Amino acid sequence: MRKLIIVVASMLVVVLFILQGFQQTHPLPEPENTRQAAATGEGVEDAMDAIYFDVSIMGVQQATAESLESDFGVETSCLSAVYGRYTDGRFGIADVIMVVPKPGEESAARDLLVTIRTSRAGLFANYDIYGASELAENGVIYTLGDYYVLLMINDTDHVRDLLEQYIPV
């Protein structure tokens, strides 16, 4: 019995010693909830870093007005700002695109996001990579303060929570 207690205690010490070294090597940025701003881009990069921290899909690139025009053929003159990231589509889909419409251009901004979603759904209709077709077809478009947001990524509920956590509204 005594030997069993010594063996169990030794194993417990070894396990605790091993687990002591396991710490997150790249900590996520801490959200700053004290900020007050409307669609200034504050917190967007921190939110994107948190969202894409565990995304293993290659080919992720920054969303800009120019890249949306060239990659999706949309007119971005109705937007005052573009934020987010999206994938090139070769390895699946993990897109989070946020736009800020110019005053009075809200409908055009929403239509722009619908066009991007439709474009992505069409791209993956012929070849479905890692469930990308379903993600594109079920892409979520919603508003977050002054931002119009398009989510075509796994676990959209978690992504929405992160956006709400990092971006002041």
pTM of the model: 0.73
**How big is the chain, counted in residues?**
169
Do residues 152 and 141 lie in contact, with contact meaning Cβ atoms separated by under 8 Å?
no
Instruction: Please compute, for residue 115, the number of CA atoms within 13 A of its CA located in the half-sphere on the CB side.
Output: 14
Higher local confidence (pLDDT), 147 or 89: 147
Residue environment code for 27-55, b if the CB has 16+ CB neighbours within 10 A, otherwise e = eeeebeeeeeeebeebbbebbbebbbeee
Residues 5-45 pLDDT 10s: 888 888 877 776 666 655 555 566 665 544 344 556 678 99
Residues 76-125 pLDDT 10s: 999 999 999 999 888 889 999 999 999 999 999 999 999 999 998 888 88
Q: How far is CA 31 from the centre of its chain?
A: 15
What distances in angstroms separate CA 158 from CA 44, 72, 154, 162, 164, one per listed residue? 15, 26, 9, 6, 10
Q: What is the pLDDT of residue 127?
A: 76
Q: What is the pLDDT of residue 37?
A: 43
